[in-house]
Amino acid sequence: MVVMNRKNLRSLAAGVALLLAVGALAGCGGEKKADDSKKMVTVGIAQLVEHGALDAANKGFVAGMASKGFKENENVKYDRQNAQADQSNLQNIAQRFVSNKVDLICAIATPTAQTMANATKDIPIVATAVTDYEVAKLAASNNEPKGNVTGTSDMNPIDQQLELLLKIAPQTKNIGTVYSSSEVNSQLQVDVLKKLAGDKGINVIEATVSTVNDIQQAAHSLVGKVDAVYVPTDNVMVSSMPTLVAVTDEARLPVICGESDPVRAGGLATLGIDYYKLGEQTGVMAAEILSGKGKPQTMPVQMQKEFKVVVNETTAKRNGITIPQDILAKAEIVK
């Protein structure tokens, strides 16, 4: 039996207290580390308007994030917002994201990305369905953005699309194009088309629209003047293809589109972007930023390298157009 005096008791008590304190600190440190590994991040997704291409990019973005370990309701929470093509809605969405201090913004379509970029220079923005980031003044250059915006480009293989048009309608001498005057990336695509077509001695006639209400008149203005119509990846046009097709079908004009969604809505054919895959690429880029493996400032804008042929069989039959067999052999056929 050990008899302890008061001094020894005080020393023992101090030692026990010290051990308990060290244990508590160690426990707290372990808990913090565990919490950090399961940290929930918030990503704001802003989409300009509902239509097939942008919807596909949205879904692809979430899938791309998940492929890199960011799974919804496990370690990432999405604040999904759709502006319904209204600029004031876009501004409200941007302010919502900034006020809520989201960790990253996914901006779908050029006007969306521009509004988000005007609202914040601090929150990383990864955009998609944007044709040229430099032209849209979202980045210093596509190779070195320098700001807080990067993402994926939906720039079309316009040279290959022109070749597709000429294979389907080889007698074409005049191409009409309808697009929104407010979309800078649509103008860029048309400028590229004019240069490529001009090199082949083909004339391009433009008809611009401000709203969907202008499409019918714009389409009628081309009838009798053109042999075919080209529609770029334009949000106004893509969301209102039936209005255009009602006119072009009556005139039996082949319509070549910038991507597959307007083909499904009545256009004739495309060799274009797969927006779901483009969204996936965007999601992977966002995951790298959230993981600290990359920064928008130094992350080059990515392009899609593989394109697919899509042909609308019903439209071809309705307009009496025979699609060459070599095109059909590699095409996805929609009706």
Query: Within its chain, how far is the Cα of 280 from the centroid?
Result: 9
- How much is the pLDDT for 335? 87
Instruction: For residue range 89-131, list pLDDT tens digits in order.
Output: 999 999 999 999 999 999 999 999 999 999 999 999 999 999 9
- How much is the pLDDT for 52? 87
Per-residue pLDDT in tens (0 to 9) along the chain, 335 residues: 434 444 443 444 444 344 344 344 344 433 333 343 468 999 999 999 998 889 999 999 999 999 999 999 999 999 999 999 999 999 999 999 999 999 999 999 999 999 999 999 999 999 999 999 999 999 999 999 999 999 999 998 999 999 999 999 999 999 999 999 988 889 999 999 999 999 999 999 999 999 999 999 999 999 999 999 999 999 899 889 999 999 999 999 999 999 999 999 999 999 988 999 999 999 999 999 999 999 999 999 999 988 989 999 999 999 999 999 999 999 999 98
| Cα radius of gyration rounded to whole Å, the chain | 27
Contact 96, 81 (CB under 8 A): yes
Contact 79, 44 (CB under 8 A): yes
Q: How many CB atoms lie within 10 A of CB 200?
A: 11
Look up tokens 């319509």; give the residue: 255
Separation between Cα atoms, residue 149 and residue 140, nearest integer Å:
10
Contact 112, 47 (CB under 8 A): yes
Separation between Cα atoms, residue 261 and residue 256, nearest integer Å:
12
- How much is the pLDDT for 39? 87
- Find the DSSP H helices in the chain: 6-37, 52-67, 87-99, 110-119, 158-168, 184-199, 215-222, 235-238, 241-250, 260-264, 275-290, 313-318, 325-328
Instruction: For residue range 25-40, list pLDDT tens digits in order.
Output: 344 433 333 343 468 9
Strands 308-312 and 269-272: antiparallel
